[in-house]
Amino acid sequence: MNARPDFGSVHESTHLLREVIQLSDVFESSLARELTVNKTDLEAMEHLIQHGPTSPTELARVLGISTAAATVVVDRLSRVGHVTRQPHPTDRRAVSVVPADASIARAFQHLMPMIMGIDGVIRDYTPEQQDVITDYLRKVVHVYRGSIPSSTGSNGVPGERSPDA
């Protein structure tokens, strides 16, 4: 009995989507090297860039790491100038981790050509075709979220539920 599944009957789009996922990992590793951070630090930076300043505790929750490990991440990012610790605007006992404007600009310098290239590809299609592609990708996201163990949460964060759950 062969333990390896036969992927010969899998649709080409499924193979291509897998390749996109692999290339995304390669791109993120390259971006991390460019920014002189590791993958966990890059995940923290991505969260801060997308969602703005946050507490170290919230960063730990999002990354699925301990608060002590999050402190180490923030220390590393702070040491290379990617973030600063600032007093929380409303809670004088708390600290916010704030992404540095220069680091945001540096990250987008690498991200935007790829993002705009992908956006340009979808614009080659008619609005109706774009709707079909978007529907397909939405369903793929749903399958991925459903495939993540419930103990992790469908966003990959321990104990967190997906936005559509």
Does the residue 155 lie in any domain? Answer: no
Does the residue 39 lie in any domain? Answer: yes
What is the CATH number for 96?
A: 1.10.10.10
Does the residue 49 lie in any domain? Answer: yes
Closest by alpha carbon to 52, among 106, 102, 109, 100? 100
pLDDT digits (tens, 9 = 90+) for 43-64: 999 999 999 999 999 999 999 9
Average confidence (pLDDT) over 111-115 = 95
Does the residue 7 lie in any domain? Answer: no
pLDDT above 70: residue 141: yes
Does the residue 162 lie in any domain? Answer: no
The CA distance from 78 to 18, in Å, is: 35
pLDDT digits (tens, 9 = 90+) for 70-79: 999 999 999 9
User: Quick one: pLDDT at residue 151?
Assistant: 59
How many domains are contained in the chain?
Answer: 1
Q: Which domain holds residue 127?
A: 12-147
User: Quick one: pLDDT at residue 150?
Assistant: 75
User: Quick one: pLDDT at residue 164?
Assistant: 41
Closest by alpha carbon to 23, among 102, 95, 118, 104? 118
